[in-house]
Amino acid sequence: RFEKGRIYTFIGEVVVSMNPYKNLNIYGRDMIEQYKGRELYERPPHLFAIADAAYKAMKRRSKDTCIVISGESGAGKTEASKYIMQYIAAITNPGQRAEVERVKNILLKSNCVLEAFGNAKTNRNDNSSRFGKYMDINFDFKGDPIGGHINNYLLEKSRVIVQQPGERSFHSFYQLLQGGSDQMLRSLHLQKDASAYSYICPGAQIKCSISDGAEFKAVADAMKVIGFKQEEIQTVYKIVATILHLGNLKFSVDGDTPVIENGKVVSIIADLLSTKSDMVEKALLFRTVATGRDVIDKQHTEQEATYGRDAFAKAIYERLFCWIVTHINDVIEVKNYDTTIHGKNTVIGVLDIYGFEIFDNNSFEQFCINYCNEKLQQLFIQLVLKQEQEEYQREGIPWKHIDYFNNQVIVDLVEQQHKGIIAILDDACMNVGKVTDEMFLEALNNKLGKHAHFSSRKLCATDKTLEFDRDFRIKHYAGDVIYSVTGFIDKNKDTLFQDFKRLMYNSSNPVLKMMWPEGKLSITEVTKRPLTAATLFKNSMIALVDNLASKEPYYVRCIKPNDKKSPQLFDEERCRHQVEYLGLLENVRVRRAGFAYRQTYEKFLHRYKMISEFTWPNHDLPSDKDAVKKLIECHGFQHDVAYGKTKIFIRTPRTLFTLEELHAKMLVRIVLFLQKVWRGTLARLRYKRTKAALTILKYYRRYKVKAYIHEVARRFHNVRLMKDYGKHVQWPTPPKVLRRFEEALQTIYHRWRAGELIRSVPPEVLPQLRAKVAAMEVLKGHRADIGLQRVWEGNYIALKPDNPQTTGSFIPVANELKRKDKYMNVLFSCHVRKVNRFNKVEDRAIFITDRHLYKMDPMKQYKVMRTIPLYNLIGLSVSNGKDQLVVFHTKDNKDLIVCLFSKEPSNDSRIGELVGVLASHFKRSKRALQVSVTNPVQCSLHGRKCTVSVETKINQSQPDFTKHRSGFILCVPGN
């Protein structure tokens, strides 16, 4: 499989992953789609399959899950964790919610930052994690990541000051020197040459497959995405630069006084740490000791000053790393999550922790790392081998026990209270007086001499691989490891002089001050003895294993095919050894003999009861076990299952997949049914709400209508007694529904008021009133002066003031016409000036009765010159000025053109009266009379079309007609 590029293999829910030592094109978007939502064995083995299985278990069953990635250093654990994170990020948040995208981005980018500050090139691996990392990803009820938390374990801080041959310090140092701009390096007082700095000088010439320059830019960008401010990023690189400068300090002794040879470096360090150079120098050369109430400054020896400087460099790098992790946690922490509102918050944990290590020189760090791997192997044994077999026996499933090596004995050797190596190391550190590493080894020999997994040169005098007073050996599950006790006491005490803590706390840089809160303690303040490094690590490991044990575990077991990082070489002996100590053979045996899936009857029914008519929606069988049996037999899976006391066991994944397919199909129908019922409920609720709203509206409208009518009745209560019959009363604003009603009501009111007003008018005045109304209807807005204010006399020729000389001769003529033409009423009479088709202008009179219009000659005793029956009259035309021009239009196109004039008073306008009486008469006779108001006026004389226009002349005394090419001009006086 390795030779064909198939680097993944399944053992149940364990993925065995071989490091291919080359890039494979099996992690793209198309590959993600192939594994998304699929069951574990549907596709070829892959990391994505295990990530999807963990995600599905978390989403389907609301169970916290974890993916434990283990293996030797360089087996590919960190890469595996990155691909798992990439997969989870790719399959979540289909709705593209901004907050979820932000969390995903930060989770992915955090890898890049933590690798820069926590990984280094070792002899086994170019990107070896020198710290343990456990990342919890929190998901909401929809399965989208909403936050997370990172725990870091035991950063190998000794790497800051010393590295084994062929290895480098942490990437961050080389990245800063290679990737930092010239301006940045100048501000940090650094140069690009890594060999100029004694802490990282050994690794300066070592080639590494990681590009430091490119990674520096990627890390800076990632820090910005995560939310680091510019001044915080600046402080991070100031701390890295400070450590490089600290390594270049040279101490010597002047007499009895220790001095720093290169004092200029001190002022650079003070500048980078935002503190004073004399304080930095004092902290490096003196130690403040409190004896009772007295405080004295104790001088360091050259050796103590070097130790203090190295301890300070390690401590500030460790604090920086922990601060970065805390900062990331603050940004991705789940905030304002209420389970009652948002549903259960579930977790997928991803553990990427240092692998088992055997170096040429194994010290305290390797001891802790290998203890950590023992704990994880114990968890694997407990969950996969021991618990599974015990469960079969407990449930009464026929089972043949499979032997395996239980490494609990090695775990106890390290962590047991009072008897374990860590307890003995702590006792040695607490002893008063000078305690050496040799004394610690002696204590180990005395207390653990008879332990099968412990040996030293004193216990095995013939074993020359062990040095006297230096080495001890532990038989780990992964092989024998020889540890050198040199440095164990110092590293376990992890002493850092209080002076350095105070120095950092008093920095004017707020980020640095925040990293060292204990620096605020006064010198004389007595504090509790801090826990040792080994005990802190032991406690964190016990907590980690308890946390993992509470979740449903999925394993990725990483294997190195060879030690030469070759993509072609498969070292069979090396691989066999890893397979043995990882317990993979026993795992295969247990899986082959065992069952792929087990679940309590209650939970199994809860998930699958809808696929059988006997169990949906609830069964009536004696127990859940009987109901499950019925369900399984119903689908013909009885040969692939076993029934325990409280659980059902399914042997092959294929049966489980079939059950899941049936469940998925039925779920669609159930969802549709629920949607139908719920939509019906919503529709009924909506109907009731609408009905209620309409009822409220009906009563409200009724109230508004009643209120309006009551208000109208109130305002118009005494309208009959009012002087103006309520004209001054303001109408209330009606509701929208009554607007047309209001219009009708107002019309009725106006008609009533008009009737009341008319009733008060004397009968003899009524005809005149009707004529004035008719005139107003026709002329209002077209002519300024209608003559409404004066009394309309009508028969002006018969009045003496108008024509005192000729009145006597007119009346007999009028009476004669009355006898002859049988008219009832005289409508109008007046003197006029007329013009005919021969352009002849003469003074005449017009006499209009209810039957005829007569043109008379006043000079000839009012002889009738022309009679026009009123039924022959089809219209009138008047001008829009103040003149008295009138054109009578007849059916036979023999129009009569006249200009009215009066003697007394001479400027009296009678046009309105003439139009009004004729319009009123025609209206009563139910005949149409067309009245047009224009200038010039159109007319027809014996069929010939012509126009009459009006002009004003200042020196004109009387209106007069003159000929014009288009007709006539009526000249009127200007004043």
Catalytic positions, written as ranges: 73-74, 78, 125, 128-129, 355, 357
- Output the CA angle 822-827-833, nearest 5 degrees: 110
Are 67 and 348 in contact, with CB atoms under 8 Å apart? Answer: yes
Q: Is 341 helix (H, G, I), strand (E, B) or coil?
A: helix
Are 584 and 16 in contact, with CB atoms under 8 Å apart? Answer: yes
Write down the residue that tokens 């004896």 correspond to: 291
**How many CA atoms does the CB half-sphere of 172 hold within 13 Å?**
29
The Cα–Cα gap between 283 and 258 comes to 12
Are 871 and 921 in contact, with CB atoms under 8 Å apart? Answer: no
The Cα–Cα gap between 144 and 155 comes to 31
Are 575 and 88 in contact, with CB atoms under 8 Å apart? Answer: no
The CA-based dihedral angle spanning residues 949, 955, 959, 961, taken in that order and rounded to the nearest 10 degrees: -50
Torsional sign, CA 733, 735, 736, 739: negative
What one-letter code names the amino acid at 153? Y
The Cα–Cα gap between 953 and 935 comes to 16
Chain-centroid distance, C-alpha 153: 34
The Cα–Cα gap between 140 and 344 comes to 7
Q: Say if strands 641-643 and 647-650 run parallel, antiparallel, or are unpaired.
A: antiparallel
Each as own residue / partner, the long-range contacts of residues 518-525 (CB below 8 Å, 24 or more positions apart, any chain) are 523/288, 523/290, 523/295, 523/498, 524/290, 524/293, 524/295
Are 929 and 875 in contact, with CB atoms under 8 Å apart? Answer: yes
DSSP state of 175: H
The Cα–Cα gap between 701 and 735 comes to 8
Q: Is 344 helix (H, G, I), strand (E, B) or coil?
A: coil
Q: Is 168 helix (H, G, I), strand (E, B) or coil?
A: coil
Nearest of 237, 542, 521 to residue 415 by alpha carbon: 542
Structure tokens at 225: 């995405």
DSSP state of 958: S
The Cα–Cα gap between 383 and 374 comes to 14
The Cα–Cα gap between 38 and 87 comes to 13
Overall residue count recorded for the chain in this entry:
975
The CA-based dihedral angle spanning residues 40, 45, 46, 52, taken in that order and rounded to the nearest 10 degrees: 0
Residue 502's DSSP bridge partners are: none
Residue 554's DSSP bridge partners are: 67
**How many CA atoms does the CB half-sphere of 624 hold within 13 Å?**
16
Nearest of 344, 372, 422, 346 to residue 543 by alpha carbon: 372
User: Residue 378's CB: how many other CB atoms inside 10 A?
Assistant: 19
* Segment (H or E) for 48: helix 47-61
Nearest of 779, 758, 806, 803 to residue 901 by alpha carbon: 803
DSSP code string of 624-661: HHHHHHHHHHHTT-GGGEEE-SSEEEE--HHHHHHHHH
64: phi > 0 → left, psi -120 to 50 → alpha, else beta; which?
beta
Are 392 and 399 in contact, with CB atoms under 8 Å apart? Answer: yes
